Amino acid sequence: MLTHRLRLPRALRRFALAGLVSVQLCGCTAMLRAGQAPSERPVRVQGSSPIALVPPIFEIPVGTVVGGHAPNPERQYTLVHEWGSTLVIDPNEFNHAIRDELRTLGYTVATAGFAPHGLQPTVTRIVYNVFGSDARAGWSEAEVTVRWQVLGQVPFVLETRGSSTAQQHSLASIFQAYRIALRNFLANPQFAAAVAPTGRPPTTVQGAAPVIEPLPAAPSVGVTPVTPLPVTPVVSTPTITTPAVTTPEVSPTAAAPRQRLKRPASSTRKLDTTAAAQRARGSVVTVLVGDAWGSGIVLSEFLIATQASLVKSGTVAVVSASGKQLEARVLRTDAANDVALLEVTSGKLEPLGLDLAPATTGAAIVAIGTPFHPGLSFSVSPGRVVSGSPTHLDADARVSAGNAGGPIIDEFGRAVGMVVWSPGDAAESGTARAISAGALFRALGLGYADADPP
């Protein structure tokens, strides 16, 4: 049985469809977009030598971000689609389109193991974006790039692409985009000339395993006209070569700050959550440690707070909202609260103001961080404070492990806490649990220069 499916973990799927996270994308982390690739008119023939169809090869590394889900057309993505992980397609599904198109255009498709010609497609790129939610009519867009290799007496290679949109949340847009890429390939008269009947006896197609048994007809798809969209690549994370730094854990006392910082300016009036997030996001960083990632709060031009368990081993770097990547070292940690202070030696980051008083229950907040994937850096999740104390606060904003170390922002654009995530928690998402800003400062031995001595 042939299958095609978009595999999403159940909890993540519910989280995505609920639209609980609003992703604010900047140029350095924008999601892939499908571009316009209009279909050319394919060449029709009156018969051909038999053509063996070889299942497509995918030259897309497992884990590659190929698109995302957004509950609205404004492309505020709630999650990403990763090839081979959350997006899986049976290669034989694409041969439905090839078989149908070739037969419709008059070509002869081989149904046995020998043929004088073969067609080997290699998919080099897929973009798949889904929009809408349970409460809003959905649609999807896709772009597929294929390298076509003709095997046989007159071999040649040609690369084409196709893009499409489809109604509802389905993979129909991917298959239609693939079909358009195929039509663009079949518009080249070189293929028709290469497979024209010659009267020669059939020969084995070398280097390929033809499809021997007929495949069922392709499922019908409902397709809307293609909407032109610019292609915006996802910025890959550079390899970090900074030597690892280890620092002994310390527990500063609350009575004597070891280091006093200049207090950053903050808004004097309440902001809506969008404005508060926009004000604060320039002072949030993505923290990279090998293959792991989390978030961080910029406290001064050179100091960053994050979760200690994230940076306990391995090399550390941070990426700012402007896309600048900086080397970082662990300056000190507090094991009891699982917090760490990082230092960068260059870059002069923009600090975020902190409210050191306990958070007010019921107050509107937003969590900012990097959930699910580094491609979703500086995502924003709105909510309200459920409970607050001098040491911790709980909020109903949805976060994931990648939010660890990121701030909880109040209506004045200040951080009232830092998200903490249990290192052993395998859940895909949950409500925000944070150490209060005051407790964070005390644990790291920090204070503001204009504050009264303890």
Give residue-wise pLDDT tens across range 22-52.
333 333 334 566 666 667 788 899 988 888 8
Domain boundary among 170, 200, 224: 224
- Are 136 and 278 found together in one domain? no
Q: Which two tokens stand for residue 235?
A: 């910025």
Domain boundary among 206, 224, 242: 224
Between residues 65 and 168, the one the model is more confident about: 65
Predicted pLDDT at 405: 96
Alpha carbon of residue 347 to chain centroid: 26
Closest to 295 measured CA to CA, from 304, 303, 306: 306
Tens digits of residue pLDDT in 75-127: 777 788 888 888 888 777 787 778 888 999 999 988 754 677 788 888 999 99
- Are 295 and 159 found together in one domain? no
Maximum pairwise Cα distance, the chain? 97
- Are 69 and 213 found together in one domain? yes
| Residues 6+ away with beta carbon under 8 Å from 6 | 81, 86, 87, 88, 171
Q: Check whether 366 has a pLDDT greater than 70.
A: yes
Q: How many domains does the chain have?
A: 2
- Are 311 and 355 found together in one domain? yes
- Are 213 and 339 found together in one domain? no
- Are 316 and 438 found together in one domain? yes
Angle between helices 91-104 and 172-186 (to 10 degrees): 50
Residue 134 identity:
D
Residue 333 lies in a domain: yes
Instruction: For residue 24, give the 3-state DSSP assignment.
Output: coil
Tens digits of residue pLDDT in 240-267: 333 333 333 434 344 567 788 989 888 8
Residue with tokens 């993979």: 171
Residue 233 lies in a domain: no
Residue 238 lies in a domain: no
DSSP-H helix ranges across 195-354: 273-280
- Are 138 and 12 found together in one domain? yes
Q: How many Cβ atoms sit within 10 Å of the Cβ of residue 361?
A: 13
Distance from C-alpha of 385 to C-alpha of 359, rounded to nearest angstrom: 7
Residue 229 lies in a domain: no
- Are 101 and 174 found together in one domain? yes
Predicted pLDDT at 375: 58
Task: Give the CATH number, domain containing residue 413.
Answer: 2.40.10.120
Residue 251 lies in a domain: no
- Are 202 and 54 found together in one domain? yes
- Are 423 and 293 found together in one domain? yes
Between residues 364 and 56, the one the model is more confident about: 364
Residue 230 lies in a domain: no
Residue with tokens 């870059």: 347
Distance from C-alpha of 331 to C-alpha of 248, rounded to nearest angstrom: 9
Instruction: For residue 104, give the 3-state DSSP assignment.
Output: helix
- Are 295 and 382 found together in one domain? yes
Tens digits of residue pLDDT in 206-223: 333 333 223 233 333 333
Q: Are 18 and 383 in contact (CB under 8 A)?
A: no
Q: Check whether 178 has a pLDDT greater than 50.
A: yes
Relative to beta strand 446-448, strand 259-261 is parallel
- Are 272 and 343 found together in one domain? yes
Domain boundary among 200, 224, 248: 224
The range of the structural domain enclosing residue 388 comes to 259-448
Q: Binning pLDDT at 50, 70 and 90, where does residue 356 land?
A: very high
Residue with tokens 């505020």: 76
Residue with tokens 């760490």: 340
Residue 270 lies in a domain: yes
